[in-house]
Amino acid sequence: MQGTIDGLSYGLVTPVAAYLTACLGSALGLRCTVRSLALDRSRKPGWLALGAVSIGCGIWSMHFIAMLGFQVSGAAISYDTTLTFLSLLVAVLVVGVGIFTVGYFGTGPGPLLTAGVFTGLGVAGMHYLGMAAMRMNGSLVYDSAVVALSVAIAVVAATAALWAAIAIRGFLASLGASAVMGVAVTGMHYTGMAAVDVHITHGVNVVGSSAVGVMALLIGPLVVLVLAAAIVMFDPMLIMGDDEPDRRPVRRNAGWS
């Protein structure tokens, strides 16, 4: 029996909250990446790691906030704890490959494209591993063409966000880049959800909601995002917008001491 899917059981509340969470994690991660470009090699790893953790926690939290609105008629939904946290680890590690690529190999077309691909794959990998963690009296069936489209959206938008964050300086540019990255994450998520059908294995006339369990899982990553935001907000160079060393030539005037 095919279950009826309702991905917006709370209306626009979950999509909007999910998008804003994705934007927050992306903004923090991208700012950390830009900050690292102004540092010597000994100080890069800390900022790049914080960037990877921020984006990873942001996209993971976005996924499960969005899943609060996901219900299937005839199925009670829960999540496998091990796979759920493994999806968080995958998000941080794969996105980290992309972030460290930019931090150490520069912002040329090659490193930027590589970083965008890994970051997008990190988003997609987290999503589908998080979906694999779902437990219900049924099975998920995917439309492969729509799945491929969802991965493409993640890769293209993540690459665009990285380019915007690095190539265009200024606070408004940073906001725009994080908004694009938020589109990458949420667009990939809801496109991926459009690829899903649920086949109920036996008819139980209930509607499953895992809101309490999901909210408990979200506490840790959201706390990490708050701490990351505090670090970024109180960093002097990021506050002043001085994201890169001043490379302007020094002008000397004999008339001044």
* Nearest CA among 136, 190, 164 for reference residue 22: 190
Which has the closest alpha carbon to 216: 93, 78, 74? 78
Report how far residue 67's alpha carbon sits from residue 218's, in angstroms, rounded to the nearest whole number. Answer: 12
For residue 127, the model assigns a pLDDT of: 92
Backbone angles phi, psi at 78, to 5 degrees: -140, 180
Question: Crossing angle of helices 13-36/44-67, nearest 10°?
Answer: 170
Its pTM surpasses 0.85? no
- What is the rounded CA–CA span in Å between residue 141 and residue 131? 11
Structure-token pair, residue 162 = 């990285």
Closest CA to 186 of 37, 69, 41: 69
Domain boundaries, the chain: 8-240
Please give the pLDDT value at position 212. 60
For the chain, residues with pLDDT lower than 50 are 205-209, 239-240, 242, 244-257
pLDDT of the residue at 176: 84
Give me the long-range contacts of 78-84 (CB less than 8 A, separation at least 24): 78/134, 78/135, 78/136, 78/208, 78/210, 78/213, 79/133, 79/134, 79/135, 79/210, 79/213, 79/214, 79/217, 80/133, 80/134, 80/135, 83/129, 83/130, 83/132, 83/133, 84/130, 84/133, 84/217
CA-to-CA dists, residue 137 to 74, 87, 110, 149, 204, angstroms: 8, 22, 46, 28, 8
What pLDDT, on a 0 to 100 scale, did the predictor assign at position 255?
A: 42
